[in-house]
Structure formats: structure tokens, C-alpha cells
Amino acid sequence: MDNKLTIKQLLFSLALCFGVLFLSAQDHRPIGLNNSDLPSLKPHQLPEISFSAVEKNDLANNWQDRVSIPTKVNFNFKNAGTWHNLEAGGRIWRMDVKCENAYGLAFMLRKVEIPAGAYLDIYSKTGRHIIKRITSKDLSIKGDLLAGPVAGREIILEYYEPASAAGQGKLEIFNIHRMYKDYFPKSVSVNPNRDFNDSWDCNVNVRCFDKDNFDDVERSVMRIIMTTEEGMVYCSGTLMNNTAGDMTPYVLTAFHCVSELTPLYDFYRFDFNFISPFCNNPGQAPGFQSLMGCAKLAGYADSDFELLRIFSSIPSEYNAYFAGWNRTQDYRPDTTTLIHHPVGDVKKISQEHSRVIIFNSTIDWDNGLVTSPRSHYRGFLDLGAYQGGSSGSPLFDNDGMLIGQLHGGDALCDDAKAYSGRLSVSWTGGGSSATRLSNWLDPIGSGNLVQSGFDPANSGVSSASVSGKVLTVNGAPMRNTTVYLNSNGNYPQALGSMVDSTLTDANGNYSFTNVPMGSSYFVSANNDGCPRDGIGVSDATKIIAHLLFQNPFSDPYEYIVADTNGDGAVTVTDVLVIRFLLLGVITELPNQSSYVIARSDMIFTEDNPLTTSWRQNALIFEVRNLSGPALVPDFIAYKTGDTTFTSTGCDE
């Protein structure tokens, strides 16, 4: 033990000496800050924030944890910003966005494509705040991106592409968040009197705490930026192990974080390793590693838990840990520990040195919720504190096993009272898979009361699963549909590129197991059965009405399914194909599969996608750099010829 402490003390000293070097090594300089020859930009002005109205609205709706106000926009490379060719080769696109009284801005982007060698820089016009350079690795598996927040009233977006990738990049900015709470480092903040991320001085950085049991579990805790229709919220979460030990990226957090808001789960961002490299607060925000997008699996207000599944597997370079847990019914450890991100700050640690109690009374919460007796632990912190943004943080016992997650209480610097929802209550929750943890954390039905943590770095695991679901256009399971796993993105599937294929089950589910990790894979599906499913005279009538301009199509999928002969256009010939099918003159569709099976997350930018090369994007899903179980967004089966969308699916 003495040798271990000595090594830690030495590392701590080195971190103090070289901390500035460590941080500056992450810096990069955008082209626009180094090139005075670039043309000036006219800023796009966003509405100013009415702080009094926002405060009133937050109080009325219990939105006190909200930190931003979204503004809907529609910007892309064609309708906004300016392009400039560079003497050294390549070109850049630049755009200026300004809000006169915002503390910062964050940007929601979709349909983002960043080819090899290209990147996106976002920074304050003054150059005081430059966020991490964005490449294709930072996009969600759906091509979504939450960029920022960036401190400042005027922000520059700058996309660079090399000549080799000319015209290949795409992006659509559809929402900009105006930050009205100043959670930024003092060195970049609009208000320089604020401290780093504004968390209280009584909060204790994790690196100040020397305890063997928490060296691993600290790596399971992440900051979550929860993006909602009403704005963004900071909370904390924990990567959870399950009894199968299969590295499914389950994240436990607090139910109340967005219970009064409308979550946009595709734009949740999970920031791993946002931590000071030493005990003192850093002079500027340290780097972190992020994943975008998730699905909600379960939640229960009474014990205040929510379980999310991140869409992507956790990259090995994140060095993440899957926390273990203890759900013993009346368990009361002598010491309990919270690890959290108060107001979105770097990772902190808090601790109670007395035996935690199971609270026997109801608790009345600010939002009107009354939780049941014995649904929560209650503790009084002896070390550290907590604030907004700490919600959802894990409550660990002295062995580093999770026993609950922070709900709230009296957030103070001295003797803070903290209530945490109990894992043993959340285990059975409201009695269904959508309201309890047991289905998800014990998928093999082991009945374990205690489950140890899991460290992928020491596991020797080299394969993982890729799974998903195929549904009909009306949400029913699409059974007996072939799903392909390929090593490239060619469509239709290129010979020699297929890794595996499988059929969907009675619920439309499919799964590929023992897929080697470390490579990217491409998923697509096909079903050529039931050629007459969903097709009737009304479909032919609808195509005729479109061709006569009486009732033009307004849905991209109307164009896609109306192209029954596969010639890339909607014509009278497509009507004849439907007629011949109904009369039995032909028994299958010419040059077309019976179903067009497309990604549920596909967003078309034009009404008629037949005029573009849409198949490559719509029919194939890429699983990037598989490093753990991957969940693919649903595929939807659109019946060719079924312009009225009445298909019930096919079992053939």
C-alpha cells in the first residue's frame, strides 16, 4: 500500500508540473483565426434572451435545471455561410451566429456527413473558446451531432474539406440553443467573474480522493447533456454492468432530470472522462470523450430511476468501466459515496462517513411528486457537496457497488442532506419491463443480489453482438425477413462482403452474435415475399391522381413505393404493374423487391428522393468500429406499390 501511495503522489506532482502542457496539447487553431485574408462574415442574429421571462417560465414549469433556450433554424451549406478556396488546397465553409446577450450557443445538427480528412471547428469569434475539433467519429450512429456549448455571444462555425473530399460533406443545423446560465470556465466566459463551471468550492475533485475501491468505478460515471424540446439539462449517469457481462451500454440516471420536459433522446450526449487530471481545479476545461444518442428503456418516478441505452458501443479508448451493484433489500452500508458532475463541472466526489438510513417516510418534492416510504436512502455528507447536474449520480457502498442514484435534498456545503432512490426498489419498480431494472440488468435470470463490476480492458473479450428490429409501416413486427451483416456499404450486397445473415423472429427482432470487434459493419434487410400485400385499386388511383397533379405526393416514401418497376421514376407504367399484379398477369414485381426496408431515422431533404442516390443512405446502417454490443435503429418495411401504407407484413 505504501508503494502505491508513493506512486500516486509522484503522478500527482507530475500532473501539477505538467498540467498546463497536458491541456494545451489538446488545443488546435481553426483556419479562420490564422488567416486574415478570409472575407468578413455577416452574423446571423438570433433573438435576445428575456431573462425575466425565462426565470418566470422556469419557476412556473419546474424547469429550474434548464440551462438553454432553443431556437429553430434551417441552415446548410447551400443556404447559409460562405465558401472560400484556400491557397494551400481544399476549401472552408464559414458561418457567423450571434445572440447579443447569450452566455454561449450550442448547435443541433442532423444528416451530418464528414468525409475523411474533413472536420468542423466551432469557436467564439474572439478565439477565447475553441471546442474540440469535430470529425466523423463524433457523430451519432444516426448522423446527429450536438456541438457545444461554446462560450460567447458570437460564434463561428467553420467546416474544412480537402480537395479529395470536395462536395462530399453534408450538414443541417436545425436548432440553436442560447445559453442563459453561464457554466463556462472563467478564462472563456462572457462573465469572467465566474469560476470554472460555477460549481461550489466545497465540491471535491475525484483526483483528491485516494481510495482503491473507486479507482475503477470512477470510470463508469459520465456527464449527460440531456437535450429536450424546451432546452438542455445537465445530469450525471453511470454505465451499468449486467449479469450477462456483455458490455451492453446501459446508463442509470435520475427520472426527474427531464420529467417536466420533452426529451430528444437522439441528441443526448454522454461525456466520458470529463475530469481534472489533478486535485486542483484546472485552468481550462479538460478534454473529454463523447457518445451521442440513446433509447429510454425503463423509468420509475417513485425511486427516481431512468435507464437509458446508448446507441453506440463504448469505444475501447474511452477506458470505461461497467459498475457493479448490490440490490440486497435492507442493505445499509457504513460509508456511502457519490461521484457526480455538479452543474456540468468536472467529476467530483462526495461521501458520508456514517451508516446511511432507509428513509421511512414519504418525501414531498418541488414538482409535486410524493415518493413512498422506504423508496429512498437518506444521508448527510461529511465530504464534498452536490448541486444541480449531480442528479442521477451513483450512490456507491464502500466496496464500490452501486446501491442507488441521487434524487435531491438540501444541497449545502455543510452537512448536505441527500436522498437517493434505492436500487432494490427500482429492481421491481412498477412491475413491468418499462418500469423496473430487473429485465435489463439481469437478462439471464440469475437472481443475483450482488453483481460485480466489469472492466473491458481486463476481460479478454474480442467479440460482441449487433442487434435490432424490423417493423412494418404500421408498427407490427416484420417476421422472416433476411437481415445482412456486411463488411462494406455497397448496396445491393456485394459478393464476398457478407459477414453473416439471419432472419427476424416473430417479434421482428434479429441479432448477430460473436461479431469480431474492432471493425465497422453495415446492416441492411430484404424481403421479396408477398408481392400483393397491401396493394389495391386505391394505390393505382393515388398514383394517377399524382400524375395528373390533382393530389401530388408529399411524402418521400410515396415516391419510393410508387416506383413499382424500379426505373427511378413514377409513370403510368407503375400503374400498369399494380394492375397486372391484381389481375394475376404477373406474380412478382419487375426489378424491385416486394419491400423497401429503410432506416427509421432516415431524413430526406427532398420530396422526391428518386432524383437522388438515396439507397446508399436509406437502406444501409453503419455500425462504426464495433467495440461492444451495438443496437441498430429500427428498420421500417415499406411495401412496394402500397402508396396508401396499408401493408400488414409478410411471413413468407
Number of H helices, E strands in the chain: 9, 37
Active-site residue (options: 129, 256, 340, 376): 256
Region 344-350: mean pLDDT is: 90
Q: What is the CA radius of gyration of the chain?
A: 27
Measured distance CA(490)–CA(336) in Å, rounded: 53
Active-site residue (options: 68, 290, 391, 467): 391
pLDDT reported for residue 496: 61
Burial class from Cβ neighbours inside 10 Å (0-12, 13-18, 19+) for residue 338 reads buried
pLDDT reported for residue 580: 93
Question: Hey, how many other C-beta atoms are within 10 angstroms of the C-beta on 463?
Answer: 13
The answer to whether 32 and 158 are in contact (CB under 8 A) is yes
The boundaries of every CATH 2.60.120 domain in the chain are 31-194
Q: Which residue has the cell 456527464?
A: 223
In this structure, the strands spanning 630-631 and 463-472 are: parallel
pLDDT digit string, tens, across residues 192-240: 555 445 677 788 888 887 666 688 899 999 999 999 999 999 999 999 9
pLDDT reported for residue 484: 93
Measured distance CA(137)–CA(122) in Å, rounded: 16
- CATH architecture of residue range(s) 198-451: Beta Barrel (2.40)
What percent of the chain is modeled with pLDDT above 70? Answer: 91
pLDDT digit string, tens, across residues 565-613: 989 999 999 999 999 999 999 988 888 899 999 988 777 767 888 887 7
Question: Letter for the amino acid at 348?
Answer: K
Strand partners, 238: 221, 252
pLDDT reported for residue 21: 28
CATH code of domain 31-194 = 2.60.120
The boundaries of every CATH 2.40.10.10 domain in the chain are 198-451
Asked about 391 being catalytic, the answer comes back as yes
Active-site residue (options: 304, 345, 574, 642): 304
pLDDT digit string, tens, across residues 517-542: 888 899 999 999 999 999 999 999 99
The boundaries of every CATH 2.60.40.10 domain in the chain are 462-652
Measured distance CA(194)–CA(471) in Å, rounded: 51
Identify the helix (H) or strand (E) that includes residue 295.
strand 294-300
Asked about 340 being catalytic, the answer comes back as no
Predicted confidence band of residue 462 (pLDDT cuts 50, 70, 90): confident
Q: Which fold has domain 462-652?
A: Immunoglobulin-like (2.60.40)
Note the pTM of the prediction, 2 decimals. Answer: 0.76
Predicted confidence band of residue 371 (pLDDT cuts 50, 70, 90): very high
